[in-house]
Structure 1
Amino acid sequence: MTDTALPRVRAEIDLAALRANVRTLRAHAPGAAFMAVVKADGYGHGMVPCAKAALDAGAEWIGTATPEEALALRAAGVGGRLMCWLWTPGSPWREAVEADVDVSVSRVGALAEVVAAARAAGRTARVQLKADTGLGRNGCMPDDWPELVGEALRAEADGLVKVTGLWSHFACADEPGHPSIALQLRTFREMVGYAEQAGVRPEVRHIANSPATLTLPETHFDLVRPGIAMYGVSPSPEIGTPEDFGLRPVMTVAAALAHVKRAPAGHGVSYGHHYTTAGETTLGLVPAGYGDGIPRHASGAGPVLVDGKWRTAAGRIAMDQFVVDLGGDEPEVGTEAVLFGPGDRGEPTAEDWARAAGTIAYEIVTRIGARVPRVYVNERPGTGD
C-alpha cells in the first residue's frame, strides 16, 4: 500500500501488473488474438479500468458474461471487439447489436431473438455460435449443431447475421492430462469442421481459457480467452504458482487496525467463543468481514500480515470485522493489516486465503465487495511497467 493513512479497508489494483500479465500471456500464444475476460466486475478488480489496461497492453478483444456488463463497457467508452455470452430470453439483444457487441448463441430460439433484434436495429448482428463439447453448461449439443448452423447461415444469407466465431469452453483444462481435454478438443474440431463445410467463415475459433492458454498450445486456435490468469492468480496451484508463469497478482487488500487491546487468559473472542486466549495476550481488530467479501469459512484460519508477522483470524469472522491474536505485540491503532497481495513483502496471497476457506482463489478476489474501495495505481501505460 502506498498511503500512510489507510481507510478502513481498501483494495489496491496495480494496473501495471495487469498490463504485464497480458503481455506475458500473449507470449504464451503468439499466434492467437487475445480476449481479456472482465466478467464479474473484472473478477472483483474493476471491469472498466481493467478492460482499458488490457487493451493498452495489446488485447484485441474484451469478454463479458452478461449483456449488462457489455453495455456498461460501451457506455464507459471501451472500444475494440467485445463479446458477451450469457443470455436469457428477453435480454437486451437490440441494444447489444446496436453497440456492436458479438453475441453468443447456443440454441435456435436465441438465434431467433438475435434476428428480430437485427431487423429492429436495421443492422447486421455479430453472432458467435457456442458448441457444448463436453462441459455440459451452455452451448449447443452436437446433435443439435446442424440445425443451429443451418439457421445461422440462413440468417446470414438474409443479411441479418454475420457468424463471427465458433467457440467452446473446457471443463478440466486446469487438470493436466485429464481425459476430457482430448475428447473436448476432438469434438470441437469436428463441430468447427462441420460448420465450415456448411459454409460458415468465422473470424475466430476459440476454446482456450487461462489454463489452456498457459499449458495447451494445441488449443489456441485463432484466439485465447484468459480470465483469472490476467489478474495474476494461478488457474490451478497444481499447474504452477503465478511466479512459475511469470504472472503477478494485481490486487492487494489491506485494512487499518481499528483497536488493539490486552486480554487475559481464557478470554472468548467473537461469536460462539470458538477461540479463547491461551494466555495473556493482545488482540487486534481488523475492520473488515464477510460484508466486505472476507470469507466466513476462513474463520480461525484466514492469515493477515501485521507488523511483519503473520497472524490468523481468531474465532469467527463477522459481517464487518474480525480479530487477530497479536501474541502480546502492541502495534499502534491504524497499523496496516494486509490480508493478501502478491506475497513479495511476506504477506499472504489470495491462494492462502483460498486454502483457509476451502475454496479457490478466483472466489477470494471476485467476492471482495462493493463497499471496499478500489484504489488504482499505475493507471497510465508506462507507469510501473
Structure 2
Amino acid sequence: MGTPTPHAHAVVHLDAVAHNTALFAAATDAAVLAVVKADGFGHGAVRVAGAALAAGATWLGVTTCAEALQLRAGGITAPILSWLHGPLEDFSAALLAGVDLSVSAREQLRAVAACAARLGVTAEVHLKADTGLHRNGARPEEWPELVRLARDLAAVGLVRVRGIWSHLVSTAGDTTRAQVRLFDEAVEVARGAGLRPPLRHLANSAATLGAPRTHYELVRPGIGIYGVEPDPRHDFGLRAAMTLRAQVILTKRVPAGSGVSYEHDYVTDRETTLALVPLGYADGLPRAAARHAEVSIAGRRHPVAGRIAMDQFVVDVGDATPRTGDEVVVFGPGAEGEPTVADWARWAGTLPHEILTGIGPRVPRRHVATLTEELSLA
C-alpha cells in the first residue's frame, strides 16, 4: 500500500451510488446484485456496498473469496456471490461466512463439496455456463456432466445449487440472441437433471437497462453502479460516483519554445504559465492519455503539457494565474465542464473501468453522502 499523498484525493459520492442502484432496481422486476469487485471499482467496496444495499440491491458480487471476506469483515451480511476460483483453493472461510461460490468445472465443484464435507456445512453454489464469452464457465459439451454431479452432491447435502448463470459478450444483435438461446438450453439441461435453482442471471449494466429479455430472476450491474453509462449510445441518467481532485503545488512562467516533461514531446508555442500537479501513472493516470488530456482549474479546462510521469504532470494554463494550493479537478461528473472518467478513457484508448480501478492507494478516498457534506470537507 502506498502512503497517501496530502495533495490529492478522490471524493466518492455515495448518494450517486444510491441513485444509480435505485435506477437499476426501477428498470427490472428482478433482484439486483451490485458488483463491488476490485474494491468497488476503486471506490471502496464496503462503503459502496452499504449504499447500494440501502438503495435496492439485495445481492453483492465479487471476484474472489478474499474480496467477499473483506465485505463480511466490514459488517456486510447480505448474500454475496464470489466467482473466480481455482480447484486448489481452501474455501473454508468463505463457506463459514455464508458466501455463495460460482462453479465452472467438475473439479471445482468436487473441491467445494470436499471442503463443505470437512466443515459439516452445505455449500451454496451457482453453476456457470459458457455461452460464448469463452472465459470462465462450462462449455455445452461439459455442462451435462457438471449438472449431474451437482445433482448428486445436492442429494447428499454437500451443495445447494442456488443459481445458474453466464456472462454476456455484448448487449446487441445476433451475439446476444445466441447467448440467450444457449443459456436457456443450459437451464433446461439442468432442469432435466433434476435441478431447480431459484436464480438465473445473465444481465450486466447495459442489459439491465436495455435488454429486458436477459433479466430472469437476478441482474448484475457493475460499471453503471459507479455512474458510467454502459452504452455510449444512450444516456440513462446515471451519476458519476467519483471525483478526482488534486492541488497545484508549483507554478512557473516560461518563454515560448520551452520543452516540458520527458523527451520534450510538448513545446510551448508562446510565453505561458505551467502548473505542477502531484499525480502520475503510479496513481492511475494513464501515460497514453497525455497528448489529449485536460484538467479543470478554476472552472476552465487546460491541457496536460508533455508526458505524465510516475508522480506528477504539468498543465499549460496560458495566461491564467493559479496559485499554489488551488484545486485541480482531474475528472468528475462533468456538470461544471470538468473532464469525466469517460473522457480520460477515450484519451487513453481504454475503458472507464480501467481508469477507475487504476486509481492507486496513494490517493485517499473521502466518502460523502451528499454534496453539502463534500463542501464541508473542502
TM-score above 0.5, yes or no? yes
1:25 maps to what in 2?
Answer: 24
Report the equivalent of 1:66.
64
* DSSP-derived class of the 1:139 partner: coil
The answer to whether the aligner puts 1:218 opposite 2:213 as a matched pair is yes
What do the CA deviations read for 1:75-115 (whole angstroms, capped 9, x no partner)?
11111111000001322312111111110000000001001
Structure-2 residue corresponding to 1:276? 267
Tell me, what secondary structure is at the counterpart of 1:34? strand
User: Aligned partners of 1:79, 1:65: CA distance in 2, in Å?
Assistant: 17
Correspondent of 2:184 among 183, 189, 192: 189
Query: 1 CA distance for matches of 2:289 and 2:135?
Result: 29
Matches for 1:1-385 after TM superposition, within 5 Å: 7-29=6-28, 31-173=29-171, 176-177=172-173, 179-237=174-232, 239-240=233-234, 244-378=235-369
Show CA shifts across 1:103-133 (max 9, x none).
Answer: 0000000001001110111110001100000
1:353-381: CA deviation from partner (whole Å, max 9, x where unpaired)? 111111111111111001100000018xx
- CA deviation after TM superposition for structure 1 residue 383, in Å: 11
Q: Any conservation in 2 of the 1:67–1:91 contact (CA below 8 Å)? A: no
CA contact (8 A) 1:205 1:223 kept: yes
- State the percentage of identical aligned residues: 52
Asked if structure 2 preserves the Cα contact closer than 8 Å seen for 1:67 and 1:92, the reply is no
Q: Distance in 2 between matches of 1:312 and 1:168?
A: 42
The 3-state SS of whatever aligns with 1:326 is strand
The answer as to whether partners of 1:7 and 1:256 remain within 8 angstroms in 2 is: no
CA deviations 1:190-233 (Å, max 9, x no partner) are 10011012211112100000111111001000000000001000
Q: TM-score, normalised by structure 1?
A: 0.94
**Runs of at least 4 residues off by over 6 Å:** none
What is the deviation of 1:254? 0.8
Shift of 1:299: 1.4
CA distance in 2, matches of 1:202, 1:371: 43
Deviation at 1:38, TM superposition (A): 0.3
The alignment's TM-score, normalised by the length of structure 2, stands at: 0.95
Q: Per-residue deviation at 1:271?
A: 0.5
How far, CA to CA, are the matches of 1:299 and 1:91 in structure 2?
41
Within 2, Cα distance between the matches of 1:114 and 1:273?
56
Inter-partner Cα distance in structure 1 for 2:332 and 2:353: 14
Q: Find the residue that maps to 1:52 and give its secondary structure.
A: helix
**3-state SS of paired residue (2:304):** strand
Q: 1:24 to 1:383 in 2, by over 3 A?
A: farther
Q: Distance in 1 between matches of 2:180 and 2:41?
A: 27
Q: Give, in whole Å, the separation in 1 of the partners of 2:130 and 2:139.
A: 5
Secondary structure (helix, strand or coil) at the match of 2:183 reads helix
Counterpart AA for 1:187: L
Counterparts of 2:299 and 2:369 in 1: how far apart (Å)?
25
Opposite residue 300 of structure 1, the aligned amino acid is: R
- Whole-angstrom distance in 1 between the partners of 2:176 and 2:204: 12
Matched letter for residue 30 of structure 2: A
CA distance in 2, matches of 1:313, 1:122: 59
| Distance in 2 separating the partners of 1:25 and 1:368 | 25
The aligned counterpart of 1:3 is none
Asked whether the equivalents of residues 16 and 383 of structure 1 are also in contact (C-alpha less than 8 Å), the reply is no
Supply the AA of the counterpart residue of 2:195. Answer: V
CA deviation profile, 1:162-183 (whole Å, cap 9, x unmatched): 000000000112xx32x21000
Q: CA deviation digits over 1:60-79, x for unaligned, max 9?
A: 10000111101111111111
Q: Distance in 2 between matches of 1:236 and 1:87?
A: 29
Structure 2 unaligned spans of 5+: none
How many residues get paired?
A: 369
How far, CA to CA, are the matches of 1:80 and 1:235 in structure 2? 25
Alignment root-mean-square deviation, CA: 1.5
